Amino acid sequence: MEKKIYNYLWLTAIVVFSGLTTSAFAQSVGINTNLPTGTLDVFSEGNSNLTKNIEIVNSANVNLLTLLDNGYMGIGTSIPSVRLDLRGTSGASNIIGIGNTNLSASTAKAGALKYVDDTKELQYSDGTQWMILEADMVRDCVIAENSYNLMTCPDNTTTQLGNWITVYDPTSTFDPVTGVFTAPKTGLYTATFSIHMVITVVAAGSYLEGQWIASNGKTIKCTNSFPIAGGFMAAITCSGTITLSAGDTLYPQIFHNMGIEKHLRIYGDSLSPASDLNFNNLSIVIQ
């Protein structure tokens, strides 16, 4: 029975691989080798790295796979220039899919990649731990100022700070009219605003409070107290770091009880208008 199987495989090998040196032993087939070491053993006889060892095409004669003599493999291309080349002519097919794994970074070894479904992140192994693969993309950052737009702040009243002029907002996440920022992604954000009131009377024992209000219920508060009455430029800087989920909003507001209505110092509030610039600024950046 064994001899019949051997003869059948031998005959099949001769028919299929006509013109090649073939050998078949039980369940092993060798091409260009009499001593196959695997189920199918192909020994290339190419005389250059560009010799095609294996080539597979479909019924439309479109390349599916090419293996060169130097070990370079092309999927969708017949001229791979790297170890694995997917840069074929069919644009919709030139992608790879990366899945998740429960292997440790040390088991997967350095250089391995995985896609974490929960956090939507690509991670790579450095041989010890899985690291987030950072992308070189536009960073979510807002810079705004107000040197020209009137912003009044009544006494004993909470006022949402708006009327900003956007300086930088590449992802269009900030509404300068209302001062509302919408988080484009989940992360840790550092928010800062600095404002200066026009020079007027300030009541003794009064204070100016700045706040960042997030839609998720979190708040950053900062206070500047004035124990002695006088006529000066009351100011406050309010800064802090807050966690926001994608879609959460964040905006600045103030409260004061300095005795009279105030407004932010802007161009034209003094005899030297140019000296009134750059007193009111805002920035928000993701960490």
From 107, 136, 165, give the residue that closes a domain: 136
148/111 same-domain check: no
264/196 same-domain check: yes
- Residue with the bigger pLDDT between 144 and 46: it is 144
- Residue with the bigger pLDDT between 280 and 15: it is 280
- pLDDT tier at 17 (50, 70, 90 boundaries)? very low
- Total structural domains within the chain: 3
DSSP string, 74-99: ESS-SS--SSEE---S-GGG------
User: pTM (2 decimals)?
Assistant: 0.59
Return the CATH number at 275: 2.60.120.40
Query: Mean pLDDT for the chain?
Result: 86
- pLDDT tier at 3 (50, 70, 90 boundaries)? very low
Q: Which residues of 33-70 are buried (b: 16+ CB within 10 A; e: fewer)?
A: eeebeeeebbebeeeeeeeebeeeeeeeeebeebbbee
145/278 same-domain check: yes
Q: Which of 35-44, 78-87, 88-97, 260-269 has the lowest mean pLDDT?
A: 88-97
- How many other CB atoms are found less than 10 A from the CB of residue 107? 10
Q: Which of 280, 286, 208, 195 is nearest to 241 (CA)?
A: 286
- The 3-state DSSP class for residue 50 equals coil
171/249 same-domain check: yes
268/207 same-domain check: yes
Tokens of 237: 């800087």
Average pLDDT over residues 106-127: 91
Task: State yes or no: pLDDT of 10 exceeds 70.
Answer: no
From 28, 61, 91, give the residue that closes a domain: 91
Task: State yes or no: pLDDT of 211 exceeds 90.
Answer: yes
Q: How high is the pLDDT of residue 136? A: 67
From 73, 108, 136, give the residue that closes a domain: 136
Q: How high is the pLDDT of residue 21? A: 54
199/66 same-domain check: no
**DSSP 8-state assignment for residue 147:** S
Q: Which of 5, 4, 24 is nearest to 14 (CA)?
A: 24
Q: Which of 92, 96, 181 is nearest to 140 (CA)?
A: 181
- Residue with the bigger pLDDT between 149 and 73: it is 149
Cα–Cα distance, 256 to 222 (Å, whole number): 12
Tokens of 128: 């010890």
Q: Which of 18-32, 91-105, 137-151 has the highest mean pLDDT?
A: 137-151
Q: How high is the pLDDT of residue 261? A: 97
Q: How high is the pLDDT of residue 5? A: 35
281/178 same-domain check: yes
Q: Are 160 and 152 in contact (CB under 8 A)?
A: no
163/210 same-domain check: yes
- Residue-number span of the structural domain to which 175 is assigned: 141-286
